[in-house]
Amino acid sequence: MGAPVSGAPALSAAHLSKTFGGERALDDVTFSVLPGEVHGLLGQNGSGKSTLIKILSGFHHPDSGGELKIYGRDVGLPLAPGQFRRHGLAFVHQHLGLVPSLNVLENLVVGDLATKQMGYINWGDLRRKALETFARFNLNIDPSSRVADLPQVERALLAIVRAFEDIRAEQTEHGTPGILFLDEPTPFLPKEGVDQLFALVRGIVREGASVVFVSHDVDEVMEITDRATVLRDGRVAGTLVTAEADKDGFIAMIIGSRVEPFQAIPQDFGTKTADITIRGLTGGSLENLSLDIHKSEVIGLTGLIGSGFDEIPYMLFGAKTAEAGTLVLDGETIDLSKTTPGDAIDRGIAFLPADRLGAAGVGELTVTDNMTLTVLPQMKAPYGLNRGAMRERAAKLGTEYDVRPNAPLMKLASLSGGNQQKVLLAKWLQTNPPLLLLDEPTQGVDVGARQQVFGAIAQAAEQGAAVICASTDYEQLSQICDRVFIFARGKIVQELRGSDVTKDRIAEQTLLSLSLSGSRQAAPDSTGVQA
């Protein structure tokens, strides 16, 4: 572990443990964060990251014997909930903690309103301060717009700025800079949003504060952090200086051994006649889109924010109504301006949305309930639904897709993100869909489960499914896709296939996509196809 350059570290935690009913979730964890440092905290789901964060935020009481020092000051454990604020700590969780129906300014000052007695609220003054703050970080957010109307990226930025301003206010009390914890802030952001968020993080450490960045995205950690602590099975697996580490080293430390990353061999379907054709799809930001897909082919759709690629799965499934367009599947023509999810399912189309517990599955219902929803007609016994058969099916799929733990009666929400995704993928794949639509299929899924999700997708394709995957995770696209289409302004501007389907190539072409769609019409026929 690197020794502090001068004086005490911003935060040093020693011998933190937490036992839940005999099971050690956190085992003698010791780590430190230096002043002005961006410190990564990495690990798979279940590695103890969230337990650690919850101890520091006072949500969990640690086992006795732990120590916590902030700028050399001894902080007694356990912390009472909310007490962290007085020590200059602030937390931004994935759900951000904003009130969507209130405006930006109201959200910004909600902490003050809650803790201070203010007889008169000077809104004009608060607004001026908010604008000053935004200007400091180069943010262009209107304090009077409703948070619900902001793009996801700006909401995340707002939550971070708010947390940072809270600890800046505390600075006056102890005279030391604060420590900001970002608990997986990026999974729901598009690539561009992540860049904005990182610019903000850099701005914050420039002002002297430290940032702890919790993530399981190794690339992001390598981009933004100075050092990173890796947790595995509740223990510290090691702390790395980011500049001296490589990606394989990180991954090996996270999972304990080197994984062979999944890699499908891109197939070239060349001029083979398409099995599924999309014609004239218009609606949202999409304009007259046409696309041909083959059976057993995996197609990736990507682009910058607002390019419209992410609307395609929704429209093909009838979850968002298109203005016009047709989909030909198995010789049958579907009018996309009229179709509904029910129609789509009747034709065998399956769709796994990105919002895992909001749109794909119900967290408070069991794994069995969630898995069997798509096959209820098969579960009929003479006297009604056969509950035993439903449980058996769930257990069988659980084994097949390696859901851990394979407990059909467990609530879906109790599983880790990766295992939830395996359950939801199984929910659809058991119907043997001829067309599988995916939207960000591995968001918030840990490294190990990611490979399994890819394996399941590849297997579905092998059995004849055509797969369309919308994603901004270029690495993922390069691992599973035969062809990748890059979108800008509602149109395809580039098609990558064969050896061009690599992470770097997709990233580069996406960054160029706006210039490709520029004044001249995109001409994928002449410039796009590079076999």
Rank residues 20 and 123 by Cβ distance to other proteins and give the closer one.
20
Structure tokens at 522: 């995109």
Q: How many CA atoms lie within 13 A of 23 on its CB side?
A: 8
| Residue 169 neighbours by CB distance under 10 Å | 14
Q: DSSP class of residue 376?
A: G
SS3 state at 282: strand
Q: Where are the alpha helices (H) located in 34-137, listed in sequence order?
A: 49-56, 104-108, 110-115, 123-136
Q: State phi, psi for 236 to the nearest 5 degrees.
A: -80, 120
Please say whether the beta carbons of 277 and 291 come within 8 A: yes
Count of residues binding other proteins (CB under 8 A)?
55
Q: Using the rule CB under 8 A, which residue among 360, 397, 486, 488 binds other proteins? A: 360
Q: How far apart are CA 154 and CA 443, in angstroms?
A: 19
Q: State yes or no: residue 353 binds other proteins (CB under 8 A).
A: yes
Residue of 260, 342, 520, 521 interacting with other proteins (CB under 8 A): 342
Does position 23 bind other proteins by CB under 8 A?
yes
Q: Which of 2, 5, 7, 20 binds other proteins (CB under 8 A)?
A: 20
- Residues from 206 through 245 that contact other proteins (CB under 8 A): none
Q: Closest CB to other proteins among 235 and 491?
A: 235
Q: Does 148 bind other proteins (CB under 8 A)?
A: no
Minimum CB distance to other proteins, residue 444 (Å): 6
**Which lies closer to other proteins via its Cβ, residue 161 or residue 425?**
425
d(CA 152, CA 187): 11
Whole-number minimum distance, CB 194 to other proteins, in Å? Answer: 18
Does residue 100 interact with other proteins by CB under 8 A? no
The residue from 134, 164, 351, 454 that contacts other proteins (CB under 8 A) is 351
Find the binding residues for other proteins in span 183-212 (CB under 8 A). Answer: 184
List the one residue from 252, 389, 407, 512 that touches other proteins (CB under 8 A): 407
Measuring CA to CA, how many Å separate 254 from each of 219, 249, 401, 452? 13, 9, 22, 16
DSSP conformation class of 47: S
Q: Is 398 in the site for other proteins (CB under 8 A)?
A: no
Instruction: Answer for the pair 477, 495: CB distance below 8 angstroms, yes or no.
Output: no
Residue placing its CB nearer to other proteins in the complex, 135 or 413:
413
Q: Tell whether residue 415 is a contact of other proteins (CB under 8 A).
A: yes
- Of residues 45, 242, 513, 517, which one binds other proteins by CB under 8 A? 45
Closest by alpha carbon to 259, among 44, 444, 35?
Answer: 44
Selected binder of other proteins within 11, 25, 56, 130 (CB under 8 A): 25
**Nearer to other proteins (CB atom), residue 190 or residue 361:** 361
Sign of the alpha-carbon torsion through 250, 254, 258, 262: negative
Q: Where are the beta strands (DSSP E) in 242-361?
A: 276-283, 286-293, 298-303, 324-329, 332-335, 349-352
In this chain, which of 336, 410, 426, 501 binds other proteins, going by CB under 8 A? 410
* Stretch of residues binding other proteins (CB under 8 A), selected from 65-73, 218-226, 403-411, 464-472: 403-411
User: Which CB atom, from 420 or from 478, has the smaller least distance to other proteins?
Assistant: 420
Integer Cα distance of 508 and 514 in angstroms: 11
Q: To the nearest whole angstrom, how small is the minimum distance from the Cβ of residue 27 to other proteins?
A: 12
Return the sign of the alpha-carbon dihedral for residues 143, 145, 150, 155: positive
Hey, is 341 helix, strand or coil? helix
The residue among 236, 243, 210, 235 whose CA lies nearest residue 8 is 210
- Identify the residue among 9, 31, 39, 49 touching other proteins (CB under 8 A): 49
Least distance to other proteins, CB of residue 381, Å? 8
CB atoms within 10 A of CB 429: 23
Residue ranges in 368-397 that form contacts with other proteins under rule CB under 8 A: 369, 372-374, 376-377, 380, 383-385, 387
Minimum Å gap between C-beta 117 and other proteins is: 29
Judged by CB under 8 A, does residue 159 bind other proteins? no
CB of 517 to other proteins, least distance (A): 30
Q: Closest distance between other proteins and the C-beta of residue 330, in Å? A: 18
Q: List, in order, residues 6 or more apart from 346 with CB less than 8 Å away.
A: none
Q: Looking up tokens 């230096």, which residue turns up? A: 34
User: Considering the complex, what minimum distance in angstroms separates the CB of residue 289 from other proteins?
Assistant: 21
Among 149, 195, 268, 364, binds other proteins (CB under 8 A): 364
Nearer of residues 199 and 345 to other proteins, judged by Cβ: 345
Q: In this chain, which of 83, 94, 277, 321 binds other proteins, going by CB under 8 A?
A: 94
Q: Tell whether omega for the bond before 353 is within 30 degrees of 0, i.e. cis.
A: no
- Interaction between residue 321 and other proteins (CB under 8 A): no
5: contact with other proteins by CB under 8 A: no
Length of the chain: 531
Whichever of 9 and 434 has its CB closer to other proteins, that residue is 434
In terms of DSSP H, where are the helices of 137-246? 152-174, 191-206, 218-224
Lookup: tokens for 431: 């119907």
Element (H, E) at 182: strand 179-183
Q: With H, G, I as helix, E, B as strand and everything else as coil, classify residue 439.
A: strand
Q: Is 358 in the site for other proteins (CB under 8 A)?
A: yes
Nearest to other proteins of 325, 353 (CB atom): 353
How far is the first Cα of the chain from the last one, in angstroms, to the nearest whole number?
Answer: 48
- Tracing tokens 């002002």 back to the chain, one arrives at 207
Looking at 12, 50, 229, 452, which residue binds other proteins (CB under 8 A)? 50
Pairing of strands 491-497, 11-20: unpaired
- Where along the sequence are the contacts to other proteins (CB under 8 A)? 20-23, 25, 45-51, 54, 60, 94, 184, 317, 319, 340-342, 344-346, 351, 353, 355, 358-362, 364-365, 369, 372-374, 376-377, 380, 383-385, 387, 405, 407, 410, 413-417, 420, 444
